[in-house]
Structure 1
Amino acid sequence: MSDGKKFCAPNIRNVSIDTVIAHPGYSPQNLVDDIALIRLAEPADFSLDSMKPLCLPVSPELQRESLVGLNAVVAGWGVTEDGLESSVLLSVDLPVISNSDCMAAYRE
């Protein structure tokens, strides 16, 4: 794990949400496409150490680039292995695998 658990302090800044755009394929029954974009009601202050922009592969060149074998940081507050929701941001470094390997793992 890169940084393990991170508590949201002391640089907390509450910002209202303007719009939530859920993935059109999201299904709460099986959590397929469990991702969304959140548009804030005001600009984010990226001068804070606790808030940094995220790079998404949106250009066609980046979408064609294979990330398989590289490491990625996965973070979230979801349900943990004990079945409880975490109130602490959790993160883990994971290797990127191919779509076919991912689909095979979920079939098992």
Structure 2
Amino acid sequence: MQNRRKTLTRLGALTAAGLGVAALALGATSAYADDNAPNDIEPKIIGGQPAEDGQFPYIVALADAGDPSFNFCGGQLVAEDVVLTAAHCTEGSAAADIVIRHGSTDITQTDIYDVTDIYVAEGFDGSTMVNDWSLIKLAEPISGAETVPLAESDTKDWGTLTVAGWGTTESGSSSEDLLYVDVPYITDTDCSGAYGSEFNADSMICAGDLENGGVDSCQGDSGGPLVSADGVLVGIVSWGYGCAEAGNPGVYANVGLLYDDITTKLADF
């Protein structure tokens, strides 16, 4: 059984560092596996390159409050004091368990912010990854921080998209530098062809090179941004099988389809 989620775990990180195999989460898609399953994912944000300062000013990392040097998921600011991420990154966690890192493409140079509240989307199902989104409230606003605009609908024709994160790379370990890679949009029909009934067109969107592979997110990138050429948040890194494998594209929470639910909750969060 392969990993379905893209959330970096300490077990996964140790496995990746010691054996050169994937850790859970990062890259264009989130961690894909059951923590008890053999971890046979190739670890990489394939074809990625370092982001320039200011290229993704809204991006954040979720880190362990007990050890902030361990970042396990990504996210993005949708208000100066609210982060949008994947539900599988926060489900079962208390606000005191997580801190947010923001402010630099070098994860070691980011500032750390406390969390006061977490909302996991109603209808989220960890077994199917339906409705994989969550909001995190910061203890204080990040004054002057840029936020990412949300797609208000699903165009069904996004062209080339971009995913970014600090997740696992070809080396098998997480990157200290923020990396990004361009990934082609994949139609619902083609994604259903790849994943069958596991792909839910009512809340998911796919991206990657379906025929050749080679570009994707990987473990540790869960919750991070999939954006359009004009900088609109189209998707949230969610799941997939393997990393950058031909025939197995990255699957994301579809922000355009979830827009009403997200903005309704955001208004009173």
CA-CA distance at 1:22 after TM superposition: 2.9
Q: Which structure has the highest strand share of the two?
A: 2
For 2:147, the aligned partner's letter is: P
Aligned to 1:37: 135
SS class of match (1:14): strand
2:174 pairs with 1:86: yes
Distance 1:103 1:78 in 2: 26
CA-CA distance at 1:16 after TM superposition: 0.8
Matched positions, count: 96
Q: Which structure 2 residues correspond to residues 69-108 of structure 1 after superposition, within 5 A?
A: 69-79=158-168, 86-88=174-176, 89-107=178-196
Q: Structure 1 stretches (4+) deviating beyond 6 angstroms?
A: none
User: Per the alignment, do residues 80 and 8 of structure 1 end up closer, same or farther by CA in structure 2, a change over 3 Å counting?
Assistant: closer
Aligned to 1:56: 150
2:116, 2:138 within 8 Å by CA — same for their partners in 1?
Answer: yes
CA-CA distance at 1:37 after TM superposition: 2.4
2:106 pairs with 1:7: yes
TM-score by length of 1: 0.58
SS class of match (1:102): helix
| C-alpha RMSD of the superposition | 3.4
* Identical amino acids, percent of aligned pairs: 29
2:120, 2:133 within 8 Å by CA — same for their partners in 1?
Answer: yes
SS class of match (1:56): coil
Show structure 1 runs of 5+ residues with no match: none
Q: Deviations over 1:36-93 (max 9, x none)?
A: 322212112335xxxx311112xxxx315x15242222123445567x5625343222
Distance 2:134 2:174 in 1: 19
Show structure 2 runs of 5+ residues with no match: 1-46, 52-104, 197-246, 248-269
